[in-house]
Amino acid sequence: MTVTHSGPSGIAPPGSSGIKVIIVGLGLAGLTAAIECHRKGHSVIGLEKTPKPTHLGDIFSISSNGALVISKWDDGVIARELDSVRCDVDTITVWDEYANVKLRKDMNGYKEGEGLVLNRSTTVTTLYEYGKSLGIDLRFGVSVSDYWEDDEQAGVIVDGERFSADCVIASDGIHSKARPIITRDTRPLTKSGAATYRAGYPAEVLKDHPKAQWVLEGTEKADQLNHFIGKDIAVIIGTGRHGKDVYWGCLHRSNDGVSKSWLQPSDVTKALLLIEDWPAKEKVGAVIRCTPNMTCFDHLVMAVDPLTGWVSKKGRMIVIGDAAHAFIPTSGQGASQSIEDGAVVAICLELAGKNRIPLALQVMQKLRYERISLIGDGSAKMLESLHMANWDAKQQDKLPTLIARAMWIFDHDCQKSTYEEFSKAAEAVITGGPYLPANIATDGRYGIVEEEGKSTVKVTAASVDSLFAQ
């Protein structure tokens, strides 16, 4: 199968592919898809129901595999802009509930020139502004009521108006309206077994609180990132912009069902009660207690059972990002995999061409599905490790950690790999033959702990099932 393309770093002339794309949902996945589709010569309309480009929450991480995509935009200008507001973390310090330091690790994959730890809203706004500067049609405050497709086109209904394109990319999040329509999978959201309290505030809030000053120590040189891990509870406390911002999160077991609002304002006293028995409660609690009113949120961690597929019946619509594969927080890959999705689907459309849209979307799924599944399973294994929190375990992979060192994830270049693998994956789609993914570990392991580049943890469906059966 012979194809022509612009290459991993290449930019096609605007509109040159002749492919028209509608993207629904302009969070990280949708904005990345819009930018990458534009770069590959597709015409894009982006639709988002919220009135303005923002993202509720504190920080998230984009590891080196996701940051590599952004680094190609505008000759690195956008990456440098985000780098100027990143949390400058070199080292992660892991503590037990007694305030004993158990581990210090380099922040590999997130250091300067590698990845990014960023404010969510700032990141989404930056991507939106870049997309608009490219002339991409990005519309906010637009609610999609339905989706449709036939053999020639696909589209959406907005306020009774019928929009049409060659394909629809739905990136409308974990509560996706598009998912059951496109995938015909109507399974409801399920419990993940966890919830988190989270907050962020300006560091100046701590100026009259000496017991909380420890979190600002040394931040003139580098920001802090601390993980306090006890049974059933993990607290993250860190800083951003060289001590200008403070953030914290408290991940804990939760038996609440999904009928509860997934995100709601909360009182920090609930988080403080969780660590009431910790000998480290004064150190940890000092930072939590300073949280300004109405800035703490109770976030129920949702889960979606793995979908059997992401592509619609006629092959002209696809779900990506959280709409396709919502990760629990322990993956550390929700943002990066959303970015990979957006980049890969744009290239698949480019390589397949306007006359083979269904093939493009099926190849996208073929290239991404196993990688996504393995990362999702691995994050569940990490959550299990946190819940057990056995600091006396003899095996390194049994020790609790929020630090994944799976270099097959971090070192992956999704754009280069897509150009190299497209023809083989397309052949497998066309013939129904086998395809061996090139974007997962060769031993089929996730690798919570990495030693000399070797993965040491085998993740199976049974191990994930056992986690949520407790």
Select from 5, 1, 2 the least CA-distant residue to 419.
5
Question: Can you give the pLDDT at residue 446?
Answer: 59
Triad 106, 109, 114: Cα angle to 5°: 115
pLDDT in tens, 387-437: 677 787 776 666 676 666 678 899 999 999 999 999 999 999 999 999 999
Q: Under CATH, which number does the domain 20-88+107-187+305-468 receive?
A: 3.50.50.60
- In angstroms, the CA 277 to CA 207 distance is 27
- DSSP letter for 63, please: -
Given 198, 316, 405, 445, the catalytic residue: 198
Give CA separation, 413 vs 112, 169, 173, 334, 361, in Å.
18, 22, 24, 16, 19
CB 404 within 8 A of CB 386: no
- Per residue in 66-106, pLDDT (tens digit) is 999 999 999 999 999 999 888 898 888 999 999 999 888 88
Say whether 80 is catalytic: no
Query: What local confidence, expressed as pLDDT, does residue 4 receive?
Result: 58
Where would I find the beta strands (DSSP E) of 144-244?
144-149, 154-158, 161-165, 167-170, 190-202, 225-230, 233-240
Using alpha carbons, select from 344, 324, 457, 444 the residue that is nearest to residue 66.
344
Per-residue pLDDT at 177: 95
pLDDT of the residue at 147: 98
Q: Where does CATH 3.50.50.60 sit in the chain?
A: 20-88+107-187+305-468
Sign of CA dihedral 120, 125, 130, 134: positive
- Contact (CB, 8 A) for 369 and 63: no
Whole-number pLDDT of residue 263: 63
pTM of the model: 0.89
The list of the chain residues with pLDDT below 70 reads 1-4, 54-58, 191-192, 255-263, 387, 395-399, 401-405, 443-470
